């Protein structure tokens, strides 16, 4: 947890709230929406994000209790400032599995990470749609259970479909409807849960 909130962040949130009123949202949904908007300086995220308050609550509870956090790539992990994370794509054996099975490295990383964290981890996907698609496949097959998936991969190919599959599975998740996403958005959503009581 952070000890202090920088005055620039306080000012930024004040500007954000002068332009976007999400006071009618449940508290953790509001925290996630505001932090993603704050991170991107793009208020239109408010209409794109799909949040389930009970899933956000379960994810926050798990994180604060020390549950493992798994990210698809390092860019997501480094953006989550209060918790270390397992980076799926960097796990041993990922390159070999990708080559043997004809998977992207991102998908292979998720498959390896599922083997290491079959239950209880919080997952944050902010890069490749194939990573999220593989996580959904594993969950539907009963290979992994989790309190929360932050599913915000980005891309013109597969991102919308992977996020729709996440929501229809259905898995406890925060996602968005459009092609946009990315490491900064995924990290922001996790940070929102960790910092929700500290939001300025």
Catalytic residue flag (residue 38): yes
Distance between CA atoms of 132 and 182, rounded to whole angstroms? 12
Q: SS3 breakdown of the chain: % helix, strand, coil, rounded to 5? A: 55, 10, 35
The two three-digit tokens of residue 108, written as one number: 């292979």
Strand order in the sheet with 69-71: 49-51, 173-176, 148-151, 122-125, 69-71, 86-87
Distance between CA atoms of 164 and 109, rounded to whole angstroms? 21
Provide the Cα torsion 2, 5, 6, 10; round to 10°.
Answer: 150
Distance between CA atoms of 99 and 22, rounded to whole angstroms? 46
Q: Residue 149: in which H helix or E strand, if any?
A: strand 148-151
Out of 28, 35, 36, 38, pick the active-site residue.
38
Give catalytic residue positions. 38
């Amino acid at each position: 947890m952070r000890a202090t909130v920088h005055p620039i962040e306080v000012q930024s949130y004040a500007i954000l709230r002068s332009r976007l009123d999400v006071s009618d949202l449940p508290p953790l949904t509001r925290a996630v929406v505001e932090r993603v908007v704050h991170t991107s300086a793009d208020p239109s995220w408010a209409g794109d994000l799909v949040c389930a308050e009970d899933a956000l609550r379960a994810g926050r509870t798990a994180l604060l209790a020390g549950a493992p956090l798994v990210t698809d790539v390092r860019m997501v992990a480094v953006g989550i400032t209060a918790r270390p994370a397992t980076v799926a794509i960097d796990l041993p054996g990922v390159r070999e599995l990708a080559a043997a099975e004809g998977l992207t490295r991102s998908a292979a990383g998720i498959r390896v990470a599922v083997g290491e964290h079959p239950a209880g981890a919080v997952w944050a996907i902010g890069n490749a749609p194939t990573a999220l698609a593989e996580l959904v496949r594993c969950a539907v097959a009963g290979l992994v259970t989790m309190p929360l998936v932050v599913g915000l991969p980005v891309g013109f190919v597969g991102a919308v479909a992977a996020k729709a599959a996440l929501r229809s599975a259905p898995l406890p998740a925060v996602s968005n409807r459009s092609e946009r996403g990315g490491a900064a958005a995924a990290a922001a959503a996790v940070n929102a849960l960790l910092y929700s009581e500290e939001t300025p």
